């Protein structure tokens, strides 16, 4: 196969930038989370919706990048390219979690020092594959399918969506895809309204896997549909307005409270089903107006996936410190939170430049 035939298409710079904006908000969500008692009182209350935004962006980009390549691309070539793109940072993120695991002992995880090294190593090796860890190997005690790096759960569902796309759904006509997306929207709305939100998906049990699949199916394949039907125009200042919209959606306080959880569910459903596709359409239509704005979008896009994959091993230390200092307030902790945020961004940039890009280049040659 001619390698030039599968050369990378130009990126949408504003969509890259928006992915970075959402990734930074995810870090602030996790930094504020230890001060909440439930989903009802989180300070960055809808930060979990960033994952659904990522799924929609991924579906849009996959459709844009690959839909017209299948006549000259095999399933094997597609999966090689996705592994090359996703897997190096999965391995780094899991490795960082393993390195820090025994140093995050706290009142939250009192049994960490009793975990045999071989058991932690087994969890690490499974984590490298992004396959979920069974509850029998829950070495941290949070019932996560990836105890060494919590965010791995969304990569598991991202892979599932990629497999479904390549093997089956890419062949759908626009009509068939529209029907599929419509049914997925109904399932998502039911989940959001009955649960009060769409938060969940990180535990390997029937209920949580159902939540993860429901959260993935609509946004990913709605993004795919959007890439097929949207005809982007030319919008000035789209990066600013789209970034503002993303921030408003994710920082919005909880709606309805404990008495009317369905109101917040409606909010989640409307954001995922309507607002996020609108933001992606506006971002795809936008043009960067200055070289500086273009550089900002490139920087944010470049660190977005590394930031998502490397920040949580640092957050474990932060959460452990808070747990070991009962009664501390956000006013007292904010310098540490800012340090974690800044360190995560620096680590993400370093991981991109000195690990991810060289490894992906090496893999590209090996897998060609």
Residue 3 is predicted with a pLDDT of 45
Domain extents for the chain?
A: 3-367
Cα(53)–Cα(36) distance, integer angstroms: 23
What percent of the chain lies above the pLDDT cut of 90?
88
Per-residue pLDDT reduced to its tens digit, 104-127: 988 888 889 899 999 999 999 999
Per-residue pLDDT reduced to its tens digit, 23-40: 999 999 999 999 998 888
Do 40 and 52 form a contact (C-beta atoms < 8 A)? no
Q: How many CB atoms are closer than 10 A to CB 74?
A: 11
DSSP 146: -
Residue 130 pLDDT > 80, yes or no? yes
Q: Residue 286, SS3?
A: strand
Do 1 and 77 form a contact (C-beta atoms < 8 A)? yes
Residue 92 pLDDT > 90, yes or no? yes
Residue 1 is predicted with a pLDDT of 40
Quote the pTM value.
0.96
Residue 146 is predicted with a pLDDT of 98
Cα(269)–Cα(198) distance, integer angstroms: 8
Cα(320)–Cα(93) distance, integer angstroms: 18
With residue 312 as reference, give the H or E element that holds it.
helix 291-324
Residue 6 pLDDT > 70, yes or no? no
DSSP 274: I
Confidence of residue 57 (pLDDT cuts 50, 70, 90): very high
Strands (E), the chain: 235-236, 286-287
Residue 102 is predicted with a pLDDT of 96
Do 153 and 144 form a contact (C-beta atoms < 8 A)? yes
DSSP 245: H
Cα(304)–Cα(89) distance, integer angstroms: 11
**Average confidence (pLDDT) over 261-277:** 98
Residue 142: closest CA among 70, 202, 52, 207: 202
Residue 147 pLDDT > 90, yes or no? yes
Between these two residues, 159 and 231, which has the higher pLDDT value? Answer: 159
Residue 7 is predicted with a pLDDT of 56
Between these two residues, 110 and 86, which has the higher pLDDT value? Answer: 86
Q: Tell me the average pLDDT of the chain.
A: 95
Residue 8 is predicted with a pLDDT of 62
């Amino acid at each position: 196969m001619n390698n030039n035939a599968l050369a990378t298409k130009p990126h949408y710079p504003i969509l890259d930038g928006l992915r970075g904006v959402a990734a930074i908000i995810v870090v602030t969500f996790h930094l504020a989370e230890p001060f909440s008692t439930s989903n009802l009182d989180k300070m960055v209350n809808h930060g979990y919706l960033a994952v659904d935004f990522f799924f929609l962006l991924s579906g849009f980009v996959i459709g844009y990048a690959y839909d017209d390549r299948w006549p000259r691309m095999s399933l094997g070539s597609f999966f090689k390219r996705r592994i090359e793109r996703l897997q190096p940072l999965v391995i780094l993120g899991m490795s960082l979690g393993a390195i820090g695991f025994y140093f995050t002992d706290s009142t939250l995880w009192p049994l960490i020092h009793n975990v045999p090294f071989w058991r932690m190593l087994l969890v690490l090796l499974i984590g490298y594959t992004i396959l979920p860890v069974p509850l029998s190997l829950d070495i941290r005690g949070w019932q996560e399918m990836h105890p060494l790096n919590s965010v791995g759960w969304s990569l598991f569902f991202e892979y599932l969506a990629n497999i479904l796309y390549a093997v089956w759904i890419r062949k759908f006509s626009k009509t068939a895809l529209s029907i599929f997306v419509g049914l997925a929207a109904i399932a998502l709305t039911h989940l959001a309204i009955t649960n009060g939100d769409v938060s969940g998906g990180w535990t390997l049990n029937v209920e949580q896997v159902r939540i993860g699949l429901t959260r993935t199916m609509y946004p990913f394949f709605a993004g795919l549909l959007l890439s097929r039907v949207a005809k982007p125009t030319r919008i000035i200042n789209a990066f600013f307005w789209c970034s503002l919209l993303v921030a408003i959606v994710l920082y919005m306080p909880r709606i309805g409270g404990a008495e009317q959880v369905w109101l917040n569910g409606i909010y989640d459903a409307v954001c995922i089903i309507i607002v996020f596709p609108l933001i992606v359409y506006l971002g795809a239509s936008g043009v960067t107006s200055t070289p500086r704005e273009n550089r900002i979008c490139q920087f944010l896009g470049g660190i977005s996936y590394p930031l998502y994959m490397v920040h949580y091993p640092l957050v474990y230390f932060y959460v452990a410190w808070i747990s070991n200092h009962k009664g501390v307030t956000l006013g007292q902790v904010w310098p540490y939170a800012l340090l974690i945020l800044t360190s995560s961004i620096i680590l993400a940039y370093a991981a991109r430049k000195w690990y991810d890009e060289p490894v992906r280049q090496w893999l590209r040659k090996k897998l060609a």
